[in-house]
Amino acid sequence: MGSIQQMPLVREYFFAMSRHLRTSLVLTLLALPAAIARADDAPAPAAPAAPAAPKGAALEVVATSAGSQWTGMAVSKTGRVFTCFPRWIAPYANAVVEVLPDGTTKPFPDATHDAWNPESIGAPGPGDWVCVQSVHCDAKDRLWVLDPASPAFAGVVPGGPKLVAFDLATGETIRAYPFPAEIASGKAYLNDVRVDAERDVAYLTDSGIGAIVVVHLVSGKARKFLVDDPRTKAEADVKLKVGGKELHFQTPEGAEGPTPQVHADGIALDRKGEWLYWQALTGRTLYRVKTEALRAADATDATVAAAVEKVGPSVASDGLEIDDAGNVYLTSIEQDAIVMRKPDGTLVTLASDPRLAWPDSLAFGPGGTLYVSCSQIHRTPMVHPNTEMPKTPFALYRLKRP
């Protein structure tokens, strides 16, 4: 166990915190130069014009957060709803919460997991939340919590990165999977997770570096692939336009900074566990890879790269899901929308509503109900020209599938 003195990035950030420093740290991680060329020579596709759904399409509010920003979304087979608050910008709430039927929340599994903070003595343990990014319910109705442990994108806190499985019936931890430095350190940012409950394998994206991580849940061994592959990287010629404005991060002086370069982000696993889909947030191209190639004991970057397929044009998206028929659902951050991509490549807008302000994560609930979280990233102080958190509450919604 180390002390806070052994965590200089976190100590420097939290003991000398200011809004300008926060945005500077974000720039360090997210405004990475896209030094790697695209996988093909064709230019990045423009934002596609999907058939429009009626404005104000029916969205049912599940819960709202007046100040604290959430990202992840998970729904159990019985309809229990979970979300998470990354430790990005104050005010910061409990890392993981269950959303109760009346819209209120309670810490999950309990408040003790939130005891660690940057002023704590000692490195975080396997039961301490540092900066939770994603939550996910698998086919066995276990809740998985992904903690990349990089508060405010300041760098990975040693001992913090982990994937944790919970038994929803009891709230007890099934197992925690801490990640070694070769999987999560420096500018790595483990972003999203999907679990193949039948084969005991978890798949994660790294949006900080641009890679796919595979965790064998029985052995606990984790491997990282496609670190140097352009198909896990941001598309350099894509300029995101969110909320009617081209997206720029702020400089420490509050001026307009560079456009974001966010790598492999949203992820989806087909219902048979045979294909893994992903795309860069700064990008409009969807990719997939045979999970057999990722799971192979003798897998190498070369064999995995050879198994990757370009699915085709997509929308700039933060979160993905997939249904039994192979339709891929995407949050469309540029269109305030949720879009479905059919297997033939047709894009259909399911919901288009200004309330879908940076739709972040998707999850299916009982009866095929689709849930979405909205994180309003483009309205927060990390993005020019904002100086405070949005007055509009952060919201979780649900809508019915067609």
- Could you tell me if residue 53 is inside a domain? no
Residues in contact with 342: Cβ distance below 8 Å, sequence separation at least 6, in sequence order: 327, 348
Q: Which helix (H) or strand (E) holds 143?
A: strand 142-147
Buried b (16+ CB within 10 A) or exposed e, 15-45: eeeebeebbbbbbebbbbebebebbeeeebb
- Could you tell me if residue 185 is inside a domain? yes
- Could you tell me if residue 39 is inside a domain? no
Q: Which helix (H) or strand (E) holds 24?
A: helix 19-30
Q: What stretches of 297-393 adopt beta strand conformation (E)?
A: 308-313, 317-322, 328-332, 337-341, 347-352, 359-364, 369-374
Six token digits for residue 128: 């301490």
Whether residue 323 is predicted with pLDDT greater than 70 in this model: the reply is yes
CATH of the domain at 395: 2.120.10.30
Q: Give how far Cα 235 sits from Cα of 144, 220, 244, 271, 402, Å.
A: 30, 32, 20, 28, 32
- Could you tell me if residue 44 is inside a domain? no
Q: Which helix (H) or strand (E) holds 250?
A: none
- pLDDT tens-place string over residues 288-304: 999 999 999 999 999 99
Banded model confidence at residue 58, pLDDT cuts 50, 70, 90? confident
Peptide bond into 313 cis (omega under 30): no
Q: What's residue 271's pLDDT?
A: 96
Place of tokens 């696993």: 269
Q: Which domain holds residue 89?
A: 4-33+60-400
- pLDDT tens-place string over residues 64-78: 999 899 999 999 999
Parallel, antiparallel, or unpaired: how do β-strands 81-84 and 73-75 relate? antiparallel
Is pTM, for the whole model, over 0.75? yes
Q: What's residue 118's pLDDT?
A: 79
Q: Give how far Cα 394 sits from Cα of 132, 148, 191, 355, 391, Å.
A: 17, 22, 20, 10, 9
- Could you tell me if residue 214 is inside a domain? yes
In degrees, to the nearest 5, what angle opens at C-alpha 149 toward C-alphas 315 and 220? 90
- Could you tell me if residue 10 is inside a domain? yes
Q: What's residue 283's pLDDT?
A: 97
Banded model confidence at residue 327, pLDDT cuts 50, 70, 90? very high
- pLDDT tens-place string over residues 109-118: 999 999 888 7
Give the residue-averaged pLDDT of 369-394.
96
- Could you tell me if residue 115 is inside a domain? yes
CA distance 286 to 233: 12
Banded model confidence at residue 54, pLDDT cuts 50, 70, 90? very low
In degrees, to the nearest 5, what angle opens at C-alpha 398 toward C-alphas 392 and 402? 135
Alpha carbons within 13 A on the beta-carbon side of 376 = 24
- Could you tell me if residue 248 is inside a domain? yes
Banded model confidence at residue 123, pLDDT cuts 50, 70, 90? confident
By percentage, how much of the chain surpasses pLDDT 70? 85
Q: Give how far Cα 263 sits from Cα of 10, 188, 278, 340, Å.
A: 23, 11, 10, 21
Neighbours of 236 (CB within 10 A): 18
Domain count, the chain: 1
Higher pLDDT residue, 51 or 61? 61
Average pLDDT score, the chain:
87
CB-based contact 76:168 (threshold 8 Å)? yes
Enumerate the β-bridge partners of residue 162. 147, 178
